[in-house]
Structure 1
Amino acid sequence: MPEESVNYGMFDTLETGNESLPFNLYNMDAISWLKTLNDNSVDLMITDPPYESLEKHRKIGTTTRLKNSKASSNKWFEIFPNERFESLLIEVYRVLKKNSHFYLFCDQETAFYVKPIAESVGFKFWKPIVWDKMKIGMGYHYRARYEFILFFEKGKRKLNNFSTPDVLQVPRVFRGYPTEKPVKLLEILINQSSMAGECIFDPFMGSGSTGKAALNLKRQFVGNDLCVEACQVTKDRLIKE
């Protein structure tokens, strides 16, 4: 797919009535997009890549088949292969400001793979946060009810609320966009690791839940996705805000 910017509104450049839209969306490969960003320019990164193990589980029927997506020829996303994580994490570390946080959604298999790579490029790994979806999902041996959110730090930044637990109980989105994350869950992470007016970035934004959470909390949002359909869904969702 050719790489192109989908400029739906960069902060004060797109007006609707008297109000500016505090977001900007791009339609590019995630790593290529990150390479366009300046060093030390991002306040907070939260993302959920379509990690390789999802495809493995799909092939043996242990996870839900997703809707058709223009990013793939079958009923699944175009997978982001493990071999590309080092390049991705190098770029994420480069663009994040000193004293900032990075959250990565993944399963247990991807967590074991990603953690040492992230540490090798400079991140401090704090812990896996557990997202308890509160309802049982698909599975083979023990059916899934949780997902990991790997919590990394560049430099040193305090969390805004030290009483927040490392198990976050938020119901999963039922019949939403493929692998859609609940806005309430993302609001917890954004509240913990940013301040009002700062900008939240997501290189695999999907349906834009991170963006909606950011706007709800008076942050700005810059998102990217390889799928044109995802950009359109996110645009329609965020412009309503």
Structure 2
Amino acid sequence: MQVFREDAVTWLSTLADASVDLVVTDPPYESLEKHRKIGTTTRLKVSKSSSNQWFEIFPNDRFESLLTEVYRVLKKNSHFYLFCDQETMFVIKPIAEKVGFKFWKPIIWDKVSIGMGYHYRARHEYILFFEKGKRKLNNLGIPDILECKRIYRGYPTEKPVEIIETLISQSSSENEVVVDPFFGSGATLVAAQKLGRQYLGSDISDAAHEHFINRLCEQ
């Protein structure tokens, strides 16, 4: 179980072909920058309490190289989950299909409470569900809307461990390898550890590494 401080695509390129059982990740996608510039996403602004170093945006034009590497490192008959907003979903889906993934559906994360914005304020986020080969979900009774309160005053855009535990439980088995090339708050890595999976992760942000180390110390 290791973490690295490298660019996501560069780091993935160092992993062996078909060496990973599951990828769950939440890239700092391009549309976040748009929201930050117009001031609707205050949690993404630079401040003493919230460093936005992690938001060195991963541009849309790099997604093909990223998804090509994700497909390569995943074993045959495996799953891939990617958190994103409605704008980025339409960018990623055709690229992922081009590199070989089967797209099943967007899973909805219902955050329970309303978020920021002006037009039908969002209370949900998308988790795109892709498959390489064919792998059955471990529990066919889980719905495609997952309800879980968002994290307040945490790491920027932090995802609840509970949500990621559901994804890992559905698409991997004990001791299998779970990877997150944009680990951010470390939620994927913490969820993997709690469920008895091995994990590998990378993030270019010093703040992410500091946050994750503190998180491990607090457990």
Q: TM-score per shorter chain, which class?
A: over 0.9
Counterpart-to-counterpart distance in 1, 2:218 and 2:123 = 31
- Correspondence for 1:79: 57
CA deviations on 1:65-106 (whole Å, 9 max, x unpaired) are: 3222345xxxxx111000000000000000000000000000
Q: What are the within-5 Å matches in structure 2 for residues 1-241 of structure 1?
A: 23-66=1-44, 67-71=50-54, 77-241=55-219
1:168 maps to a residue whose letter is L
Q: Give the superposition deviation at 1:238.
A: 2.8
Shift of 1:114: 0.3
In structure 2, C-alpha distance between the alignment counterparts of 1:212 and 1:136, rounded to whole Å:
26
Cα 1:229/1:38, change in 2 over 3 Å: same
TM-score normalised by structure 2 residue count: 0.95
Superposed CA offset, 1:149-204 (max 9, x none): 00000000000000100000011111111110000000000000000111110000
Q: Is the 8 A contact 1:69 1:227 kept in 2?
A: no
Q: Is this contact kept in 1: 2:51–2:207, CA < 8 A?
A: no
More helix by share: 2
**Alignment partner of 2:121: what SS?**
coil
Secondary structure in 1 matching 2:2: strand
Aligned length: 214
Q: Which moved more, 1:119-128 or 1:132-141?
A: 132-141
Instruction: Give the structure, 1 or 2, with the largest relative contact order (CA under 8 Å, sep 6 or more).
Output: 2
Larger Rg belongs to: 1
Aligned partner of 2:47 in structure 1 is none
What is the rounded CA distance, in whole Å, between the counterparts of 2:42 and 2:139 in structure 1? Answer: 35
Percent of residue pairs bearing the same amino acid type: 66
Equivalent residue, structure 2, for 1:15: none
- Would you say the 8 A contact 1:49–1:105 is kept in 2? yes
Note the C-alpha offset of 1:31: 0.4
TM-score (norm 1): 0.86
Which blocks of at least 5 consecutive residues in structure 2 are unaligned? 45-49
Q: How much has 1:229 moved relative to structure 2?
A: 1.7
Alignment partners' CA distance in 1, 2:136 and 2:42: 37
Contact 1:211/1:238 (CA < 8 Å) preserved in 2?
no
